[in-house]
Structures are given as C-alpha cells and as structure tokens.
C-alpha cells in the first residue's frame, strides 16, 4: 500500500494503476444508493478532488453514507482508471476510517456563496474552490519570485517592519507602541514622552523596505525584499488594504532601462511558472472568474512590453476620442482609467511609462537633465492598471541633499541614506510590486480582500 496525496495521483496516473493507496482528506460531496456510495475527497494538495467509490460490504457503510460534508476521513483502496468517465480514475475503497466529524450546519454547503459572505468565514473559505485556487496560486507566485531572484544570485534582505523612517516622505503610518494608551506618559510640556516607549522614540510600521534595501544593494549589488508593508489610509476600496506584501528588488550599477528589462523578465517568469504549476487553477479562473484571463496572461508572456514616456502618453491620451472621468494634463498623475486605456486599447499588452514629472514622484528618484522629470517608470497592464512602480535612485549626494531640503524633510533623519552616496555610491535602480495586485492579475479576482488570507481593512482585523 502506498501512502500518498491527491496531487500525486493526478500527476502520476500510470504509476498508480491498479495499486492500493492510502489517502486522507475532507469530503466535498457524498451520495449513495442502498448498496454503493460515492464521495469526492479533497486533501488540499490539488485543486481537483478524487472520486472514492465504496460498497455496502464495508462494515461502517451506513456510518459513512451519513457523514456531514467536510468530515475528514482516511481511505484505503485501489486506483482504477476510468477512461470512459468524466474523471480519469477513481478509488475503489475497501476501508474508510472517520478522522474527524463535521457538522450538518457546516457553512460551505454545495450552493454557491457570495465572496462577501465568504470573507466572514475566512477560517473556512480556503476549503471553497475559488479560495483553494487563489491561495495555491498565491503560494506558487511567492515561490516563483524567490526562485527568479535567487537563481539570478540576488540576496534576499529582510528589511525591518518596525521603523523610525518614512520612506515616501509622506503616507499615513501605523504607530507601534508598548505604552499603555489608558495612561500615556507625558513630558513636562504635556506631550507624549517618546523616551518611555519601547524603542525610546516614536516608531511605526514600514510603508516600504526600499531605503533599507538600498544599503544592501550597495554591498551585495543585487538584492530584493519580500515582506509585509502597511498603510493607515482610511480607504475602503477593492484595491486597498492596510496590510499587504511587497516585493522590492534593488540593483546597483543599474539604470532605469536595466530594471525595466528585469521587471519584464520577472513578470514573464512568474506567469510561466503558474501556467506550469497550476494549469487547473487557471482553467477554473478562466471559466468562473474572468473569461479573458488566460488570453491576457498568454499575451503578456509572449509580447514585448511597450515603452513610452509620460509626456508621449499624455499626448496620446489627449488626442484619443475616449471619454475619461478625470481630465489628462501634463503634470498630473495618471488615473487607473488612463493606465488601463493605454495598456488595453493603445498597446493591447503591458507597457512601461517612463520619465514622470518630478512633482508627482518621490524624493529619491533621479532627476533627469530636462529639469522637469525624473527617471521613474510604472508598468501598466491590461485589467489592472499599475502593477509595478520603479525608478533610478538619485545617487548624487548634493542633488539628493538639496531635494530633501527643498521638500522640507529633515536631513538628520536621512543621515545614513545620504552616507550611502558619500562612500562609493553608484548608479542604482529598483522597483516595487504590490504582491496582492500581482495575484489579482494572475487570478482575475477583483477585490484585494479575496487574495489575502486574512485581510486587514478599516474596521476589520478579525481572525
């Protein structure tokens, strides 16, 4: 007898033919006549379930036929190919042991539930088809990212979650504290006595690991972060969460086009990995979530991404016949409707927009010679809009110091960031990709709450 899992059965059908196997899993459906029963067993290792046939010769036949959905069982039986049936094989059981009873009020009965309802049972929703597929793809995409960068020799750096810095020079941050909020210690001036807090000063949850990653890029050349980041913005949209994961590669001796090449290669690698590892999940999404998903991903994988400057993009948008909700004007940020129009209607594939006006981009981006723009890029993709944002970093110490002053930021807070430019600074560039947005792109899911295991949004930190 071979102890195995459902994935192995599906992937190695030849090997298991006529073998006796042992499986454990949860019952998805169950039906029976007086003498024979059928149950679909899902063990979570594979998107599909396996059909188990059992006859009334089993001594606990009656007990099995009465099991509530989602009960867990272990099954011993023979692998029988069934080429004439819908499923390619089934297991003829000669023994079924009940591992754990479920309950008739199990919330995930066969009828379809709304995604909104399923969010209220986040502890059970990974057992539903949609979330089984989403979270398996999420795990695979996470691995694809590590694989892509590690095989290129990138060093993975765990940048800090708790920080005294504020990368964007703006952005609403969560405060981290060990102070008793019912009894906040105050100074003589009546302000919070920050010295009494755990870290001896105000500290917050990070909004980006980039500045820290730069210190490592200037030691290891090629590095990347992959970790949680936070925004305390009170926006209740389908695209925003208070806690989300971000991937941020940072490359020394690289200019803007170098990291655009890297980003394009990375996106194609991830898509390829998902097609290879999760074809059943992609088929499911394409059938039930987004009918154009596979076509869109294949197209991205096979096309050369477009490249256009912000200035050219603005001209294109202004000349277009398209009605936009927001007007397009040089100097303002592109809205999702503009980004999607560019990638979906004009380019019909992913497109990099480069060289944005300096006023709408972050302080650390490298000033272009035109005095008006910075060496920044956003990757826009059909169905999503912005997927990646990156830039060449300002490596000139004086230019950077002037910028920090100009924006009224505190030079003291950035002493170590400036020192990177003093001690062998060099051209370097990097980008950030919101991991959840990537998962939405790969699955067709439309709400960020449905691609995070336990989403955190305003008013919601359950589970």
Burial 101-132 (b: 16+ CB within 10 A, else e): eeeeeeebeeeeeeeeebbeebeebbbbbbbb
- Are the C-beta atoms of residues 450 and 139 closer than 8 Å to each other? no
Number of residues near its own copies (by CB under 8 A):
107
In this chain, which of 83, 371, 408, 424 binds its own copies, going by CB under 8 A?
424
Q: Which stretch binds its own copies (CB under 8 A): 162-170, 282-290, 301-309, 335-343?
A: 162-170
Q: Is 74 in the site for its own copies (CB under 8 A)?
A: yes
Q: Which stretch binds its own copies (CB under 8 A): 242-250, 307-315, 332-340, 353-361?
A: 242-250
Rounded CA gap, 43 and 64, in Å?
A: 17
Q: Is 200 in the site for its own copies (CB under 8 A)?
A: yes
Q: Which stretch binds its own copies (CB under 8 A): 29-37, 77-85, 401-409, 448-456?
A: 448-456
In this chain, which of 51, 65, 159, 377 binds its own copies, going by CB under 8 A?
159
Q: Which residues 374-413 are close enough to bind its own copies by CB under 8 A?
A: 395
**DSSP code string of 70-138:** T-EEEEEEEEEE-TTSSSSEEEEEEEEEEEE---TT-S--SS---HHHHHTTTTTGGGSHHHHHHHHHH
Q: Is 135 in the site for its own copies (CB under 8 A)?
A: yes
- Specify the residue, 102 or 368, whose C-beta has the smaller distance to its own copies: 102
E strand segments, 350-392:
351-357, 373-381, 385-392
CB of 89 vs its own copies, minimal distance in Å: 19
In this chain, which of 58, 80, 115, 161 binds its own copies, going by CB under 8 A?
161
CB of 413 vs its own copies, minimal distance in Å: 11
Using alpha carbons, select from 378, 327, 371 the residue that is nearest to residue 350: 378
Torsion of CA 215, 221, 227, 233, to 10 degrees: 60
Q: Is 421 in the site for its own copies (CB under 8 A)?
A: yes
Q: Which stretch binds its own copies (CB under 8 A): 12-20, 168-176, 283-291, 327-335?
A: 168-176
- Specify the residue, 245 or 310, whose C-beta has the smaller distance to its own copies: 245
Q: Is 101 in the site for its own copies (CB under 8 A)?
A: yes
Residue 95 C-alpha from the chain's centroid: 41
Rounded CA gap, 52 and 9, in Å?
A: 13
Q: Which stretch binds its own copies (CB under 8 A): 245-253, 292-300, 345-353, 372-380?
A: 245-253
Hey, which residues does 228 pair with through a beta bridge? 245
- C-alpha to C-alpha distances, 258 to 34, 126, 400, 410, 428, nearest whole angstrom: 68, 39, 22, 31, 10
- Specify the residue, 231 or 403, whose C-beta has the smaller distance to its own copies: 231
């Amino acid at each position: 007898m071979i102890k195995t899992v459902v994935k192995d059965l599906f992937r190695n059908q030849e090997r298991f033919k006529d073998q006796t196997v042992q499986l454990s899993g949860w019952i998805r459906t169950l039906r029976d006549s007086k003498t024979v029963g059928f149950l679909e067993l899902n063990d979570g290792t594979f998107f599909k379930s396996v059909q188990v046939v059992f006859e009334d010769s089993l001594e606990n036949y009656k007990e099995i036929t009465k099991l509530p959905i989602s009960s867990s069982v272990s099954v011993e039986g023979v692998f029988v190919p069934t080429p004439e049936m819908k499923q390619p094989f089934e297991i003829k059981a000669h023994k079924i042991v009940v591992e754990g009873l479920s309950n008739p009020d199990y919330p995930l009965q066969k009828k379809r539930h709304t995604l909104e309802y399923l969010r209220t049972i986040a502890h059970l929703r990974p057992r539903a088809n949609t979330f089984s597929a989403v979270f398996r793809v999420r795990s695979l995409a996470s691995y694809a990212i590590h694989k892509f960068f590690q095989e290129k020799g990138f060093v993975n750096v765990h940048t800090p979650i708790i920080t005294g810095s504020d990368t964007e020079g703006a952005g609403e941050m969560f405060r981290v504290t060990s102070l008793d909020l019912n009894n906040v210690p105050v100074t003589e001036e009546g302000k919070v006595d920050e010295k009494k807090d755990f870290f001896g000063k105000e500290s917050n949850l990070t909004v980006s690991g980039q500045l820290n990653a730069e210190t490592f890029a200037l030691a290891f050349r090629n590095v990347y972060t992959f970790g949680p980041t936070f925004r305390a913005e009170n926006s209740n949209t389908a695209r925003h969460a208070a806690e989300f994961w971000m991937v941020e590669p940072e490359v020394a001796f690289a200019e803007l086009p170098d990291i655009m090449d890297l980003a394009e290669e990375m996106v194609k690698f991830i898509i390829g990995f998902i097609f290879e590892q999760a074809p059943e999940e992609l088929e499911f999404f394409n059938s039930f979530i987004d009918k154009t998903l596979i076509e869109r991903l294949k197209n991205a994988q096979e096309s050369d991404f477009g490249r256009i400057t912000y200035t050219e993009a603005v001209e294109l948008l202004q000349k277009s016949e398209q009605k936009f909700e927001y007007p397009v004007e040089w100097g303002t940020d592109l809205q999702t409707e503009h980004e999607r129009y560019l990638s979906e209607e004009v380019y019909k594939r992913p497109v990099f927009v480069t060289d944005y006006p300096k006023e709408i981009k972050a302080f650390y981006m490298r000033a272009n010679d035109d005095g008006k723009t910075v060496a920044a890029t956003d990757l826009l993709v059909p169905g999503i809009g912005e997927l990646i944002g990156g830039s060449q970093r300002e490596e000139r110490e004086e230019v950077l110091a002037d910028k920090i002053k100009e924006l009224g930021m505190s030079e003291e807070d950035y002493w170590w960031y400036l020192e990177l430019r003093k001690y062998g600074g060099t051209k370097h560039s990097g980008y950030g990709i919101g991991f959840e947005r990537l998962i939405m792109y790969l699955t067709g899911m439309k709400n960020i709450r449905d691609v995070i295991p336990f989403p955190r949004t305003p008013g919601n930190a359950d589970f």
